[in-house]
Structure 1
């Protein structure tokens, strides 16, 4: 296992990834993934569109809320709401539990979110399959099929 700031680093492109995932989970409980196949450009585009979304007027952002449980939300923080204000966008990969993003200004964001959520779900399944393989559990998709289940919030 390669360590980056004491966090185990798992290279998904390496043949020993399944062994490293199991070891990282046993020793640390988590790990950082590299060479996961999600293009940096796709991540950068999504970040750029997210920045544009949070720069919209408040009334436009609120069309994607309230976050119940998914969507746009905001709140004051601190005991008396005096520390600051945060806003957030809670997402799920389950299309049945999706919130609405409306307006032509965020069509690109909506499309990028859909692609990103699909890529994240696929990567999660790949990691879960590797974990099952590393643990010698059969069938190897025993965990990932739970994520792919229609009722999953993933």
Structure 2
């Protein structure tokens, strides 16, 4: 019988606690990415500034579209979200990712899904594996929270 960990092997990030050397499948180099790939700058240690978008700008939609097409990421300012909410989200995120792998696999993302725990969905487009783990969600994560923290999931309502 297959264990839960084996069943979701395609989703598992590198377990840094249990490897003594970096496997070749995770060893990125400057030749791993095309030279015009923005990620290549990080490998070459250059400084890259993401676009900063003021949500109050009248052409915000065009600015977001351009940032997504060129960079794939951007920083938003003047959004009105309280700093206390950001701190709570960071705290809960640390709680989630500090769980054991077996616990996180309770909310594993299926191979064709977009919601749940696993590796980056863009991973198959790159020749090397990524040193990341993620948790994708759409809408409320209350169902996943109920599985992870059966007695303490009320804050996710």
TM value normalised by structure 1? 0.45
TM value normalised by structure 2? 0.45
Question: RCO (CA 8 Å, sep 6+): is it higher in 1 or 2?
Answer: 2
Q: Of Structure 1 and Structure 2, which has the larger fraction of its residues in helix?
A: 1
